[in-house]
Amino acid sequence: MTTLELYKFIENYNVEFHWNEEDVMMFVNNDNIKYFNSILNSSIFDDGGIHCVMKDGYIAFEMENICDYYDIELKDVFGENKEQ
């Protein structure tokens, strides 16, 4: 996954996200999970997979580790943390 792919995914699918201290929680609608999965490299699921929380209608992802895996800066995709 590239910075541009993640950014386009968020923009095209109106994905909600919120800064949580130094991390970003991204909320992917259940209808968009298949596409999100397709932009991830399958090796990211090695060694235990990706931590997420399934809720009613969406799945929440902590994006810091995912972005680190792809050398993506959180601020390049999600903007600056305005809560600091």
Q: What is the 3-state secondary structure (H, E, C) of the chain?
A: CCHHHHHHHHHHCCCEEEEECCEEEEEEEHHHHHHHHHHCCHHHHCCCCCCEEECCCEEEEEHHHHHHHCCCCHHHHHCCCCCC
Determine the average pLDDT of the residues in 8-24. Answer: 94
Tell me the HSE value of 5 on the side-chain side, using a 13 A CA sphere.
13
Strand partners, 70: none
> What pTM was computed for the model?
0.87
pLDDT digits (tens, 9 = 90+) for 46-55: 777 888 999 9
